[in-house]
Amino acid sequence: MGATRVVTGFHAVTARLRHAPESIEALYVDGQRRDGRMQQLLVRAESAGVRVTVAEAARLQRLAAGSTHQGVVAVCREVAVARTLDDVLAGADARTLLLLLDGVTDPRNLGACMRAADAAGAQAVIVPRDRSANLTPVVAGAAAGAAEALPLLAVTNLARAMEEIRDAGVWIVGAAGEAQRTLYEIDLTGPLAWVLGAEGQGLRRLTREKCDWLARIPMHGHVDSLNVSVATGVCLFETARQRAAKAAAA
């Protein structure tokens, strides 16, 4: 039997039912919850051929190991997604969009970044092995289903990984508040990797030096920075906007 992990909450479990129902070994639900959201999930599970087991709240809590489960917990086999950076870079092309996070240790921030990355069409999120949160139920819950399809790759050395990314023909843009140009002044339409650091700390010096460009998000109000997950969404969706505009003009 292969490795398994626990998936909790409606977003994450629904994503697994949609993308890889065959990987679900057991699906537990709170029998006291009979609202429309639960009914939709039960219908989806039935259509996918996934057997549902009604469980008491205490059992769900034990299975969820402290993460928010909303009355839904699935025990799943790991699905076949890209396992290494080499896997991702082997398919690099003009549509490549990657997210690198330098020192994001808060699991909810990491999950929210993964959610934004998946929504914007990124192919992977890359983090340093020793200076990052890992894929836990808390991260998966905050990712709201993105963790079921988007690879989270932990690398031993982020700077070396950036060199490999550049060698594969992917440009690297680092988000930095002191950058001369804004992200709206940079061509983001080619194969691209965004690098963002933790709020308050930003990019480390070596990470910054490995970037092809630095760009800032213009701030027009009273605050001088954004939460890293919000900044991730701004950067990735500006990339998606530029690409869509270029495609429409072609």
Q: What is the pLDDT of residue 235?
A: 97
Structure confidence at residue 79 as a pLDDT band (50, 70, 90): low
Mean pLDDT of 97-117: 91
Contacts of 127 (CB under 8 A, 6+ apart): 100, 101, 104, 110, 133, 152, 153, 154, 155, 158
Q: What is the pLDDT of residue 76?
A: 87
Which is higher by pLDDT, 172 or 68?
Answer: 172
Average pLDDT along the chain? 88
Structure confidence at residue 64 as a pLDDT band (50, 70, 90): confident
pTM score over 0.85:
no
The region of weakest confidence among 52-66, 79-93, 121-135 is 79-93
Mean pLDDT of 138-166: 82
- Rounded Cα distance, 25 and 48, in Å: 13
Q: What is the pLDDT of residue 140?
A: 67
152 DSSP assignment: E
User: What are the boundaries of each domain within the chain?
Assistant: 4-77, 85-249
pLDDT tens, position by position, 4-59 = 888 888 888 887 888 778 889 999 999 889 899 999 999 999 999 999 999 998 99
What's the CATH number of domain 4-77, 3.20.20.10, 3.30.1330.30, 3.30.460.20, 3.20.20.70? 3.30.1330.30
Integer angstrom CA distances of residue 79 from 68, 159, 244: 22, 28, 30
Q: Is CATH 3.40.50.10140 the classification given to domain 85-249? A: no
Q: How far apart are the first and last CA of the chain?
A: 49
Q: What is the pLDDT of residue 244?
A: 95
* pLDDT reading at 113 higher than 90: yes
pLDDT above 70 covers a percentage of the chain that reads 92
